[in-house]
C-alpha cells in the first residue's frame, strides 16, 4: 500500500513543480513535498510546521502535512506501534480537513480520496485478521480505521459485533461477560449517533439477553416488534428470550408466527426449520402448566402434513 501512495506522490511532485513556478506554493511546502518523495516524512512534517511560523493559511501545506502524517501512520503500523499510528492518523485527518476548509474547490475530492485510502487500508487488514480469528489485531486495525476517519462509526460497530462473536466462542468462555459488556458499551457509543438503527438495537437487545438482563432486552424487543413484526430473525430472537425466561407459551406463539411468515413467502430455503418449530410449539402448548390443547392440536397437525 505504501508503494501505491509513493506512485501517487510522484505525480503530485510534478504538479508541485508546476504550481511552484506559478508562485502559488511556499518554499517550505515545496521542500516538504521533496522530503515526502524521499520518504523522509518526519522532516516533511518539521519543515511544514516551520513554514506555519510565516503563514498558516496555505491549503497545500496542510494537504501535504496530511500526506506526511499518513505515511508516518503506515510506518507505525508496520512497526506494530498502535499508539503512534493512531496519533498520526488523527493528525492526518485534521490536516486534510484544514486543507479542505481553506480551499474546498481544490481539495475536497483530493482530501476525500486520501482519507478513504487510509480508512480502507485498515478496514481491509482488519477483515483479514478477523477472518483468521486474530481478534486483537483486527480490533487494533478497526480502531485505527476509526482514527483515520472518525466520521464513520462502522469500525466501532464491527468491534462490538466481533466481541459478540468472541463471547460465543468456547475459547473465551472465561471472558464472556467482559466481552459482552465491552460490546454493550460500543453499541451504546454508536447508537448515540444513530439511535433509530434497527440492526444496532437488535444487537443491543441480544447482548442484554446474553448478560441476563432480560427485562431490558424485552423492552427493546417489544419496541422493535411493533415496527418490524414481519422480521423472522427478530421473532426468533424474541422466542429465544422467552425460552430463557421460561415463558414457553410466548415462545410457541412466536415460533408459529415465524412458520406463518415462512410459508407465506416464495423462498423455499427458509422452510427447513418449520416442522421442528411447529413440533416444539405444539409440545409447549400441550404441557400441563400451559394447557393450550386446542392450539397444540392445530400446530401438531400442521407439523404432520
Question: 151 burial class (0-12, 13-18, 19+ CB within 10 angstroms)?
Answer: exposed
Measured CA distances, 111 to 24, 35, 153, 170, 268 (Å):
19, 20, 19, 44, 48
pLDDT at residue 93 is higher than 80: yes
Alpha-carbon distance of 156 to 186, in angstroms, equals 6
Tell me the pLDDT band of 19, cut-offs 50, 70 and 90.
very low
Q: Which residues contact 187 (CB under 8 A, 6 or more apart)?
A: 157, 160, 200, 203, 204, 207
pLDDT > 90 fraction of the chain, expressed in percent and rounded: 81
Q: Which of 12-26, 57-71, 79-93 has the lowest mean pLDDT?
A: 12-26
pLDDT of residue 9: 52
Contact of 223 with 240, CB cutoff 8 Å: no
pLDDT of residue 3: 52
pTM for the full predicted model: 0.80
When the pLDDT of each residue in the chain is averaged and rounded to a whole number, the result is 90
Q: Structurally, what CATH architecture does the domain formed by 2-152 represent?
A: Alpha Horseshoe (1.25)
Alpha-carbon distance of 129 to 219, in angstroms, equals 35
Contact of 186 with 205, CB cutoff 8 Å: no
CA atoms 244, 246, 252, 257: torsion sign: negative
> What cell does 244 get?
430463557
Alpha-carbon distance of 68 to 73, in angstroms, equals 9
CA neighbours within 13 Å on the CB side: how many for 131? 6
pLDDT of residue 21: 40
pLDDT of residue 261: 92
pLDDT at residue 43 is higher than 60: yes
> What cell does 269 get?
430455503
Alpha-carbon distance of 283 to 46, in angstroms, equals 74
Q: Which of 47, 51, 60, 56 is nearest to 16 (CA)?
A: 60
> What cell does 86 get?
493512531
Alpha-carbon distance of 70 to 113, in angstroms, equals 12
pLDDT of residue 2: 52
In DSSP notation, 21-87 reads HTT-S-HHHHHHHHHHHTT-HHHHHHHHHHHHTT-S--HHHHHHHHHHHHHHHHHHHHTT-HHHHHH
pLDDT of residue 244: 86
pLDDT, greater one: 5 or 293: 293
Structural domain spans, the chain: 2-152, 229-305
Q: Which helix (H) or strand (E) holds 12?
A: helix 2-21
* 229-305 matches 2-152 in CATH topology: yes
pLDDT > 70 fraction of the chain, expressed in percent and rounded: 92
Residues 190-223 pLDDT 10s: 999 989 899 999 999 999 999 999 999 999 999 9
To the question of domain 229-305 being in CATH 1.25.40, the answer is yes
pLDDT at residue 17 is higher than 90: no
Dihedral pair phi/psi, residue 272, rounded to 5°: -60, -35
Q: Which residues contact 155 (CB under 8 A, 6 or more apart)?
A: 122, 123, 126, 142, 143, 145, 146
Question: What mean pLDDT do residues 36-64 have?
Answer: 94
Residues 174-191 pLDDT 10s: 999 999 999 999 999 999
Tell me the pLDDT band of 266, cut-offs 50, 70 and 90.
confident
User: What angle (nearest 5°) sits at the alpha carbon of residue 268, between those of residues 266 and 270?
Assistant: 105
Question: What mean pLDDT do residues 147-156 have?
Answer: 96
Amino acid at each position: 500500500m505504501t508503494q501505491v501512495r509513493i506512485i501517487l506522490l510522484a505525480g503530485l511532485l510534478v504538479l508541485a513543480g508546476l504550481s511552484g513556478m506559478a508562485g502559488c506554493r511556499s518554499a517550505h511546502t515545496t521542500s516538504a513535498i521533496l522530503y515526502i518523495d524521499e520518504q523522509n516524512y518526519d522532516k516533511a512534517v518539521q519543515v511544514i510546521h516551520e513554514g506555519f511560523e510565516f503563514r498558516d493559511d496555505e491549503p497545500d501545506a496542510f494537504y501535504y502535512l496530511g500526506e506526511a502524517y499518513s505515511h508516518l501512520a503506515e510506518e507505525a503500523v508496520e512497526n506494530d506501534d498502535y499508539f503512534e499510528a493512531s496519533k498520526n492518523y488523527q493528525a492526518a485527518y485534521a490536516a486534510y480537513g484544514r486543507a479542505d476548509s481553506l480551499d474546498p474547490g481544490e481539495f475536497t475530492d483530493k482530501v476525500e480520496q486520501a482519507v478513504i485510502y487510509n480508512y480502507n487500508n485498515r478496514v481491509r487488514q482488519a477483515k483479514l485478521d478477523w477472518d483468521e480469528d486474530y481478534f486483537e489485531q483486527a480490533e487494533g486495525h478497526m480502531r485505527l480505521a476509526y482514527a483515520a476517519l472518525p466520521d464513520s462509526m462502522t469500525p466501532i460497530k464491527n468491534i462490538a459485533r466481533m466481541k459478540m462473536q468472541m463471547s460465543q466462542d468456547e475459547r473465551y468462555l472465561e471472558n464472556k461477560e467482559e466481552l459482552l459488556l465491552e460490546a454493550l458499551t460500543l453499541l451504546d457509543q454508536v447508537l448515540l449517533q444513530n439511535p433509530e438503527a434497527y440492526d444496532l438495537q437488535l444487537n443491543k437487545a441480544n447482548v442484554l439477553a446474553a448478560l441476563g438482563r432480560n427485562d431490558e432486552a424485552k423492552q427493546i424487543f417489544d419496541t422493535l416488534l411493533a415496527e418490524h413484526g414481519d422480521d423472522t430473525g427478530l421473532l426468533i430472537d424474541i422466542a429465544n428470550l422467552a425460552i430463557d425466561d421460561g415463558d414457553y407459551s410466548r415462545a410457541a406463539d412466536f415460533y408459529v408466527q415465524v412458520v406463518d411468515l415462512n410459508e407465506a413467502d416464495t423462498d423455499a430455503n427458509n422452510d427447513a426449520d418449520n416442522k421442528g418449530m411447529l413440533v416444539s410449539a405444539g409440545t409447549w402448548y400441550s404441557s400441563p402448566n400451559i394447557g393450550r390443547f386446542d392450539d397444540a392440536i392445530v400446530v401438531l397437525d400442521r407439523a404432520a402434513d
